[in-house]
Amino acid sequence: MMRKITRTLLSLLLALTMLCGLGTTAAAEEAKSVNIAVTSAVSSLNPLLIDATEVMKYALSLEFLPLVELSQELEFVPQLAQSITTEDNTTFTIKLREEAVWSDGTPVTSRDVLFTLLLITSPEAGRAILSQYLIVGTDDAGMMPSGATEIEGVKIIDDKTLTVTTKWPTALYTFENNFGRYLFVLPEHVLGDVPRDQLLTSEWFQKPDVISGPYFIQEADVNHYIRYVANDNYFLGAPKIKYLNLNVTNPAQLLAGLKSGEIDLVQQTMASVLLEDYDAIRGLNNVTAVPGSPITNQSIFINVKNVPDVRIRQALLYGIPRQMILDELVGGNGELVDAFLCSASPYYSEALGVTEYDPEKAAALIAEATAAGANTSLVWYVNSDDATFVSAVELIAALFEEIGLRIEIRTVDLDSLMGVAGEGNFDVMSVQYTYAPTDPYTDMSWLLSEAGWTRYYAPSLDADFALTQQSADQEVVRNAYLNINRQVVEDCPMISAYVISTLGAVSNRLVNATPDVYGTFVNVHEWDVQ
């Protein structure tokens, strides 16, 4: 009898030990959960609807890798592609990683790259960003005919190699930025049979079961959160963090979340820390504050079709107290530049200078324009998530009211602002815009076009834009950008309010993770928690 009781007790103890072990394992996995705060909703989880926001780009890149990505050192580093090379700035060779496979074990191939290009340039796609595909065999709108199976200039060499021949010379850095960073390659063997007119609304993108990146989407409500779970078959190595969460957070809650430990990471272009919270975050014992390089431009875009009188546009440049706004509202965390280029860009030139605040000149310009019958009432759209610049525009509006220019302010969320910008339904709009310092051409050439947000096109700039892509002499390229920026200062289709050094932050329990404007997620599979 005693032996039976003993065996029964041993069995119970063994069962309890196993349960405790399972509980410990579950708790350990739960502990390996990292929360990333973002302050704008992700507009879509469908790569065919990619927009210009960094939050969407990075949310997608966790499941579908781009070909290359920019590192924190502003160098293009391999993702799906091992290399992108050219000998003549016209034909580019893309060599995919030999080890690159989809999560189901199927190799990522050149066919997948061509398939994705065909999808994103098809008339059925979202066409949110198409300007970068104008350089291949598409039409003047960057599109291919419905049902196309090939693209002129795109040639498959073998399973891991393809070449892309562009319509005109293109700098390698521009090609890497356009095709490399923003083309999220999709699996042809999974989506090839799906009718293209169904792909934009396909539920598959809400929870893809075949991916190339480090994380699957487990659950998503893009207005509030995205829950990711590790892809244990990630070809660069299974992520050490089991669960990753993107949580849409009000900027005013970032400080409290970092302090309590509910937020583990804030990346500079996905979340906007309130400037009044910078010092408090720097003082937290459980967090490391990481200032980003002054790269993110608080840009003011003027729709020249709606504001055709250049004197009104120039008045905005002279009449905005940019230094005061930078010092008082931004706490000096940044720099002033004219037009597009920040000092971090290798093409920045001090010769451009910075236009001084001159309210008297602004008033004189407005008076001249008024006498000529110009419209002196503007509608200015502002990102409601950017409380600092909402306050700045309120100040600007009050100052211009005194000198004869009325500004109606409309604050909208980022997704709505992108819609207004794309449709051109604004006089003035402002948004934080991160121009890749190594590739200013991509954004500048599009923004300064009739299809871009400014609706501004100056034929006189064509030669300089061509030089930026064709010349191997960096001084020639720098002077070309200087000429372009001088023209922007003169005609004012765009004004740089300031370039902000945005603040990022990371919990001290998170290792191998450094938030920065670029490169934060390149090594996400190597992140770990202490």
Nearest Cα to Cα of residue 275 among 27, 62, 500, 47:
500
Query: Which token pair is 232?
Result: 């244990």
CATH number, position 365: 3.10.105.10
In whole angstroms, what separates CA 406 from the centre of its chain?
33
Same domain, 336 and 479: yes
pLDDT band at 46 (very low <50, low <70, confident <90, very high): very high
pLDDT score, position 19: 45
Same domain, 316 and 433: yes
Q: 385 with 411: CB under 8 angstroms?
A: no
State the CB neighbour count (10 A cutoff) for residue 119.
21
Q: Of 128-142, 153-167, 262-276, which gets the smallest average pLDDT?
A: 128-142
- Spatial distance between the Cα atoms of 66 and 387, rounded to a whole number of angstroms: 32
Number of domains in the chain: 2
What is the span of the domain harbouring residue 488? 296-500
Q: Of 2-16, 222-236, 355-369, 477-491, which gets the smallest average pLDDT?
A: 2-16
- Spatial distance between the Cα atoms of 311 and 132, rounded to a whole number of angstroms: 32
Burial of 435 (0-12, 13-18, 19+ CB in 10 A): buried
Same domain, 346 and 466: yes
pLDDT band at 32 (very low <50, low <70, confident <90, very high): confident
- Spatial distance between the Cα atoms of 152 and 283, rounded to a whole number of angstroms: 56
Q: Report the interhelical angle of 387-401 vs 310-319 (nearest 10°).
A: 110
Question: Averaged over 62-74, what is the pLDDT?
Answer: 94
On whether residue 267 sits in a domain, the answer given is: no
Q: 318 with 362: CB under 8 angstroms?
A: yes
Which pLDDT tens digit goes with each residue over 181-211?
Answer: 989 999 999 999 998 888 888 999 999 999 9
Q: How far apart are the first and last CA of the chain?
A: 49
Does residue 39 register a pLDDT over 90?
yes
Which pLDDT tens digit goes with each residue over 209-229?
Answer: 999 999 999 999 999 999 999
On whether residue 447 sits in a domain, the answer given is: yes
Side chain identity, residue 125? A
pLDDT band at 143 (very low <50, low <70, confident <90, very high): confident
pLDDT score, position 244: 97
Does residue 502 register a pLDDT over 50?
yes
Give the C-alpha distances (Å, rounded to integers) separating 359 from 127, 186, 365, 415, 487.
41, 53, 10, 33, 22
Beta bridge partners of 412: 383
pLDDT score, position 152: 86
On whether residue 99 sits in a domain, the answer given is: yes
pLDDT score, position 320: 98
Nearest Cα to Cα of residue 491 among 452, 458, 450:
458
Question: Averaged over 4-17, what is the pLDDT?
Answer: 43
Q: Domain ends where: 169, 199, 229? A: 199
On whether residue 441 sits in a domain, the answer given is: yes
Query: To the nearest whole percent, how much of the chain has pLDDT over 70?
Result: 91
pLDDT score, position 429: 97
Question: Which residues are CB-contacts of 199 (< 8 A; sequence separation ≥ 6)?
Answer: 46, 48, 119, 124, 125, 191
On whether residue 311 sits in a domain, the answer given is: yes
Q: DSSP code of 62?
A: T
Does residue 5 register a pLDDT over 80?
no
- Spatial distance between the Cα atoms of 60 and 56, rounded to a whole number of angstroms: 6
Does residue 323 register a pLDDT over 60?
yes
Nearest Cα to Cα of residue 126 among 216, 43, 209:
43
pLDDT band at 283 (very low <50, low <70, confident <90, very high): very high
What mean pLDDT value characterizes the chain?
90
pLDDT score, position 211: 98
pLDDT score, position 285: 97
pLDDT score, position 10: 42
Same domain, 329 and 474: yes
pLDDT band at 444 (very low <50, low <70, confident <90, very high): very high
Spell out the alpha helix ranges (H) of 321-358.
322-324
Nearest Cα to Cα of residue 315 among 230, 236, 401, 257:
401
Same domain, 180 and 315: no
pLDDT band at 2 (very low <50, low <70, confident <90, very high): very low
On whether residue 141 sits in a domain, the answer given is: yes
Query: To the nearest whole percent, how much of the chain has pLDDT over 90?
Result: 70
Which pLDDT tens digit goes with each residue over 52-65?
Answer: 788 999 999 999 99
pLDDT band at 94 (very low <50, low <70, confident <90, very high): very high
Q: Of 141-155, 334-348, 366-380, 496-510, which gets the smallest average pLDDT?
A: 141-155
Does residue 12 register a pLDDT over 70?
no
Same domain, 314 and 452: yes
Question: Averaged over 439-466, what is the pLDDT?
Answer: 93
pLDDT score, position 372: 96
Q: Domain ends where: 199, 231, 260? A: 199
pLDDT score, position 415: 85
Does residue 296 register a pLDDT over 70?
yes
Question: Averaged over 408-416, what is the pLDDT?
Answer: 94
Does residue 7 register a pLDDT over 50?
no
Q: 26 with 171: CB under 8 angstroms?
A: no
pLDDT score, position 131: 56
Same domain, 175 and 310: no
Does residue 14 register a pLDDT over 70?
no
Q: Domain ends where: 174, 199, 224? A: 199
pLDDT score, position 138: 63
- Spatial distance between the Cα atoms of 80 and 102, rounded to a whole number of angstroms: 10
pLDDT score, position 125: 72
Q: Please report the sign of the dihedral spanned by the C-alpha atoms of residue 164, residue 347, residue 431, residue 227.
A: positive
Output 22 or 326, whichever has higher pLDDT.
Answer: 326
Same domain, 176 and 68: yes
Query: Widest CA span of the chain, in angstroms?
Result: 110
Q: 403 with 319: CB under 8 angstroms?
A: yes
pLDDT band at 28 (very low <50, low <70, confident <90, very high): low
Strands across the sheet with 81-86, in order? 81-86, 91-96, 161-165, 154-158
Which pLDDT tens digit goes with each residue over 263-272?
Answer: 999 999 899 8
Does residue 11 register a pLDDT over 60?
no
Which pLDDT tens digit goes with each residue over 459-474?
Answer: 999 999 999 998 888 8
Same domain, 339 and 465: yes
CATH number, position 83: 3.90.76.10
On whether residue 28 sits in a domain, the answer given is: no
Does residue 301 register a pLDDT over 50?
yes
